[in-house]
Homo-oligomer: A and B are copies of this chain.
């Protein structure tokens, strides 16, 4: 994170990169825990955590003092230690979870105090992106849409009829493109509906990445969510004063728990204020171990060792295995022989074995643990 491209388009203004470091990742149990969520883990094919990789990915767009992280009280210390180049004052700590709208609005309001028409981008901390150059290019396209006053969202061209994501219904091209209007946000569809979306070629996955001018966003928030906007405004006014903690502690718990999609984006699309650019940069939301295995580099037999590059299999002994996703842990050995298509996750206190095609169901194992007395493993 020490080098920044001289070729950066300085006259367009730098992006304020906002990284949302929240969520647990139940389908990544036993690696991801309530106490140590997935964004803190090296699920990237190197020893960088997903969070660190997210910030490194912004290098070409945001200088370090333009990077903000919003996180909760449980993980703020670890987040701060992982991101040593992000100024301490840019680590925004929510007193309690209030879903994405409050988190994003807080960041927007804090940034607006510094630069009222700043362009900010909001990114999840637990996604993988294969092609970083392409990512930079797409975000720059989105920034140009944002400067025109649109609330921009990055759309991912669907590769399958996924029922786990929301979709964007695209409208007409704006100007010379590549920005397109978003006509409507579609909630997670049924399989048949998802299939028709993919076939039509007119729908993109909503990857939860947004780019906008902070003044445009805050105005739209005030229009649609006046209570939330008023609360955030009070907090922002006290931000650089001794009353920050007092006001944050008083107002934050009163903010509605609502996602930014539902609170702002759906309504903004209805009135023609949302645009999108397709982000075909190899996006993966690291939702489960199977899809993680699809995006990371594998050996000649299709085995993926998470958290190691492909040359380094220390702590892992594989013999006649195929298409495994192996997650080893420091100081222990994972040995496997004669098995295929399995997920094997080792952690300091628990090990998991299941087929890759059932990786989605790990959530149910965690539910079973919740119902039992083994809360220590959750």
Give Cα A333–Cα B342 distance, bound, in whole angstroms. 18
Tell me the bound Cα distance from A301 to B346 in angstroms.
25
Interface residue from B30, B339, B368 paired with A353 (Cβ < 8 Å) = B339
Q: How far is the CB of A307 from chain B (nearest CB, A)?
A: 16
CA distance A56 to B118 in the complex (A): 79
A349 close to B (CB within 8 Å): yes
Contact between B351 and A30, CB atoms less than 8 A apart: no
Chain A contacts with B in 336-352, Cβ cutoff 8 A: 336-339, 342, 344, 346, 349-352
A4 within 8 A of B: no
Per assembly, the copies of the chain total 2
* Residues in chain B near residue A338, CB distance under 8 A: 354-355, 358, 361
Q: How far is the CA of A323 from the CA of B372 in the complex (A)?
A: 23
Q: How far is the CA of A112 from the CA of B63 in the complex (A)?
A: 86
What's the minimum C-beta distance from A138 to chain B, rounded to whole angstroms?
37
Inside 8 A of A190's CB, which chain B residues have their CB? none
Complex CA distance for A60 and B122, rounded to whole angstroms: 75
> How far apart sit A208 and B257, CA to CA, in the bound complex (Å)?
71
Q: Is the CB of A319 within 8 A of B368?
A: yes
CB distance from A323 to the nearest CB of B (A): 14
Q: Does A223 contact B (CB under 8 A)?
A: no
Q: Which of A308-342 contact B (CB under 8 A)?
A: 317, 319, 331-339, 342
- Chain A residues numbered 143-191 whose CB sits less than 8 Å from any CB in chain B: none
Whether A262 is near chain B, meaning CB under 8 Å from some CB there, is: no
Contact in complex: B365, A337 (CB < 8 Å): yes
Nearest-neighbour CB distance to chain B for A27, whole angstroms, equals: 12
With A317-B374, A319-B364, A374-B317 in contact, is A352–B369 under 8 Å at CB? no
Q: How many residues of A contact B (CB 8 A)?
A: 32
Nearest to A314 among chain B residues (CB) is B374
A362 at the interface (CB under 8 A from B): yes
Which residue in chain B gives the minimum CB-CB distance to A373? Answer: B314
A342/B339 in contact, CB under 8 A: yes
Contact at B358–A332, with CB atoms within 8 Å? no
The 8 Å CB contact of A333, one of B335, B354, B355, B377, is B377
Measured in the bound complex, the distance between the Cα atoms of B245 and A249 in whole Å is 76
**A334 cross-chain contacts in B, Cβ below 8 A:** 350-351, 353
Quick check: A346 and B351 within 8 Å, CB to CB? Answer: yes
Q: How far is the CA of A30 from the CA of B332 in the complex (A)?
A: 11
Q: Point out the residues of chain B lying under 8 angstroms from A358, CB to CB.
A: 337-338
Q: How far is the CA of A336 from the CA of B338 in the complex (A)?
A: 17
Contact between chains at A349 and B337 (CB < 8 Å): no
* CB <8 Å contact, B351 and A332: yes
CB-based nearest B residue for A337 = B354
Tell whether, in the assembled complex, residue B368 and residue A317 are in contact, meaning their CB atoms are under 8 Å apart: yes
**Residue pair A335, B352 in contact (C-beta under 8 Å):** yes
Whether A365 touches B335, Cβ cut-off 8 Å, given contacts A342-B353, A344-B351, A351-B351, is yes
Whole-angstrom distance from the CB of A370 to the nearest CB of chain B? Answer: 12
A106 to nearest B CB, angstroms? 37
Nearest-Cβ distance from residue A278 to partner chain B, whole angstroms = 36
Minimum CB–CB distance from A107 to chain B (whole Å) comes to 37
Most buried by B among A335, A342, A361: A335
In the bound complex, residues from chain B placing their C-beta under 8 Å from that of A353 are 334-337, 339, 342, 344, 353
Other A-B pairs beyond A335-B354, A336-B353, A338-B361, 6, CB < 8 Å: A317-B368, A317-B372, A319-B365, A319-B368, A331-B349, A351-B351
User: Which 7 residue pairs are nearest across A and B when measured between Cβ atoms?
Assistant: A333-B350, A337-B354, A338-B358, A335-B352, A336-B353, A351-B351, A333-B377
